[in-house]
Structures are given as C-alpha cells and as structure tokens.
Amino acid sequence: MGIPRGTYDILPNEVGTWHYLEKIAREVCQRYAYAEIRTPIFEETSLYERGVGETTDIVEKEMYTFLDRKNRSLTLRPEGTAGVVRSFVENKVYADMQPTKWYYFGPMFRYERPQAGRFRQFHQFGVEAFGSDDPALDAEIISLGLDFYQTLGISGVKVGINNVGNPEIRAKYFENLIAYFKPYEAELDPDAKSRLYRNPMRILDSKVKRTQEIAQEAPSILDSLDKESMEYLERVKFYLQELQVPFDVNDRLVRGLDYYTQTAFEFVMEELGAQAGVVGGGGRYNGLVKELGGPEVSGIGFGIGLERVLLALKEQKVTIPTSDPLDCYLVTMGEEAKVASVRILGELRRAGLKAERDYLDRKMKAQLKTANRNEARFVAILGEEELVNQQVQVKHMETGEQTSIAMDQLVSYLLEGK
C-alpha cells in the first residue's frame, strides 16, 4: 500500500515552510484589505463545466469527478475561482457594499502527469475581487501577486499581460483563428483539432511543439480589439507603471480557463525553465457571476500554485525562518522527579511556554542531547535533592550559565528570559 500517484506527504519538518508561505500571503492580503474565505473541497460538477469552460483541458481531461450515493455528480475542485464565485452568488454578497475582496488557500485536484512543481493534489493561494470595472483594480491585483513573491525574497518574477476582449470580440477573433489554422488542420495535434471549431484560442495555449510552431504566426487578438478594450489595456498599463510594476504585453497569453474577459496576466520565472516557468496567473471574468446565477457583477482574481513557489525558493536558495525552538526542556532524574515534572510541565505550557520532557526513561546525558536537538533555550534539571529543597537547576543553553531558583519561580524566570 502506497501513497496515490501525484500526491505527497508534508512531514512535520516541512510544515513550517508552509506556515511561513501562508503567513506572508495573509500579511500581504491584509495590507491590501482582502479578507479570507473558505469554500468546500468538492462542488457540483456543473459548476466547473459552466464556470471553467467545457473546452478547457481541466474539464475535458483533468477533473476528479464521482457520483455520490444519490447519483449526484460531484467534482473535487480543480481551481478556486468558480467555488468562490458560487459562494458570492449563493450568499447574495453582491447585495452588500462593493467591492468585495477575498483571498483563499487550499488543496486543488487535477488528473495530470506529475512533474517538478506539478502534482495531482496541489495547493493554491488565490485572490478574487468583485464589483468594480476600474482598471486600477486589475493593477492592484497584479501588484499584490508580485508583492507576495518579493516579500518571500523571490527575485526575477516577470509579469506578462494581455487583453482577451469580450465575448463579441472573441467571436470575431475565433473566425480569424479558424481561417488561419484551417490550412494546417492535418498537422495539428488531436486536442487542437478538436478545439479548432469550438474554441480555437485554446490552440494558442498548446504545449505540443508542432502546434506551437504553427501558432506562432497566428493573428494577434490585439488586432481584433475594439477601442474600448484597447483603452482598457492602456489604463491597466498606466496603473502598473504608477505602482512601479514592470511588465511585458504578451498577445499570445490566453490562460487555461474560458471565463476570462479583458485583462489576462501571468507571473513567470524564466530560470525555472519549461517545467515550471509560469508560477501563477489570473485575469478578469466579468461574465462569470451572471453565468453562475448572479447579477451583472464584474470580477478579477489570480491563483498561485504554492508548490511552484517552493520550487522557486529552493532554486534561488532563499532561507525561510521556520525554526521554532523549545523554551524549556525538563530533565528529570529519579521516579519522584519524573512524576513531579508532569505538574511543572503543565504550568509552563499554561503560561504560554513551549515545553517538553523525556518520556523514554533516558539517562541525563541523553536527555540533554535531546534538549540540544530541539534547540531548547533553557533546560530545567530536577532530581531528588531539588525536590527536597523545592529548587530547580536552570541552564541557559546558549551561554552555558546555570543557576538554582525556587520551583514556584520557574515560570516567571523563563518568561523574563523570552
């Protein structure tokens, strides 16, 4: 019996890194006035078919879908936005004062080939903002994502932006793409062929080499944009410059989801190579709230894969402060001292101190080694003589200084030393 392919255990010595990532994400989101939301890990399958798009790789190939005991089709969430939008609609948050600004963390699930930084159960940090068409909000969201990477100490993250228009513009653009790709139809890979007449923009997102080569000379969506969309793109660029966010316009950037309108963007780290170059991305989805049963409310957001972030931290050798040493390790000698240490340990912990003791009846030397291994700041030594005198020997591990103090003063002594 083994762990399912594409999943992995996060062991206790690695969890501190995850806590740190989440801590930084929360701090950045709080600075930008975003509040946390938590949604279910599984939703009705139709939510993703309608929300993500039936011609996407996610819906066509990658979803973990199952029937429950009443034959209802449910799916483990493959991405975060659709569930957050469903919650926004179902809880009628659109009736509150806008904009609504949320962030989330959590596991997502996609059946795809595992590789560096890509797993079948992976973790995402995402943000969503509803209720404003202001291009300054697009720039704010992009800035927030870049701020997250920079606060972690990751350098070299580049921002790519594009404008994918509205449904009417895309319908016109689809015609241009079909006309371009049709002479090459026999050379396209099977997925590209199946999408040619349904959603040819997906072909621009192909990972197949020959299809990529053909797509290089395909028409640019920027040539199909109307005046309003071009002006919107220019305003986003202006606000990014105001926020001192460097960016490049990439007219081939379409993202892997069908709900985007107007702004689409990606965070890219070239040094990670083809395996994990894109470390996050998002865009506007002004029609999604209505598509999922709500009123005409605009939205924008991004998702960042945390496994990719860990890969970047490792690649750049960024040191993460995850050490959480013990305040005190109780070393006991003799049965009576061992019994007395249970009460003392409880007092230390109730006072908010991180404390531990030996449970394996080891010799004093072995107990001191354990205290060292746990990076204990202090060791409190308790033996028969100390019990008689109601004293405890306290050793400061960094300086080596040792002092004898009254047992009932141990808590206050350690708190003063914090």
Contacts of 220 (CB under 8 A, 6+ apart): 251, 252
Tell me what pLDDT residue 274 has: 46
Based on the fold, state whether residues 251 and 148 are members of the same structural domain: yes
Mean pLDDT computed over every residue of the chain: 91
Among residues 274, 293, 315, which one ends one of the domains? 315
Among residues 254, 284, 315, which one ends one of the domains? 315
Element (H, E) at 73: strand 73-76
Based on the fold, state whether residues 102 and 155 are members of the same structural domain: yes
Tell me what pLDDT residue 273 has: 52
Nearest Cα to 230, choosing from 166, 287, 142, 283?
166
The proportion of the chain whose per-residue pLDDT surpasses 70, expressed as a percent, equals 97
Contact 68, 42 (CB under 8 A): no
Nearest Cα to 316, choosing from 193, 93, 155?
155
Tell me what pLDDT residue 256 has: 56
Nearest Cα to 128, choosing from 165, 160, 88, 77?
88
Contact 37, 90 (CB under 8 A): no
Based on the fold, state whether residues 140 and 283 are members of the same structural domain: yes
Based on the fold, state whether residues 296 and 360 are members of the same structural domain: no
Report if residue 284 sits inside a domain.
yes
Residue at 10: amino acid letter: I
Contact 340, 387 (CB under 8 A): yes
Q: For position 241, which CATH number holds?
A: 3.30.930.10
Beta strands of 258-318 (E only): which ranges? 261-268, 278-284, 299-305
Segment among 82-86, 116-120, 277-281 with least mean pLDDT? 116-120
Tell me what pLDDT residue 275 has: 46
Contact 412, 392 (CB under 8 A): no
Based on the fold, state whether residues 72 and 136 are members of the same structural domain: yes
Q: What is the mean pLDDT of residues 45-55?
A: 83
Q: For position 386, which CATH number holds?
A: 3.40.50.800
Tell me what pLDDT residue 338 has: 94
Does 45 score more than 70 pLDDT? yes
Based on the fold, state whether residues 45 and 127 are members of the same structural domain: yes
Tell me what pLDDT residue 258 has: 64
Full domain range(s) for residue 347: 328-416
Based on the fold, state whether residues 306 and 356 are members of the same structural domain: no
The proportion of the chain whose per-residue pLDDT surpasses 90, expressed as a percent, equals 72
**pLDDT tens-digit map of 207-248:** 788 888 888 889 999 999 999 999 999 999 999 999 999 999
Report if residue 186 sits inside a domain.
no
Based on the fold, state whether residues 155 and 130 are members of the same structural domain: yes
Percentages of the chain per state (helix, strand, coil), in multiples of 5: 45, 20, 35
Report if residue 215 sits inside a domain.
no
Tell me what pLDDT residue 209 has: 87
**pLDDT tens-digit map of 136-178:** 999 999 999 999 999 999 999 999 999 998 888 888 888 998 9
**pLDDT tens-digit map of 341-366:** 999 999 999 999 999 999 999 999 99
Based on the fold, state whether residues 261 and 390 are members of the same structural domain: no
Does 272 score more than 70 pLDDT? no
Tell me what pLDDT residue 257 has: 60
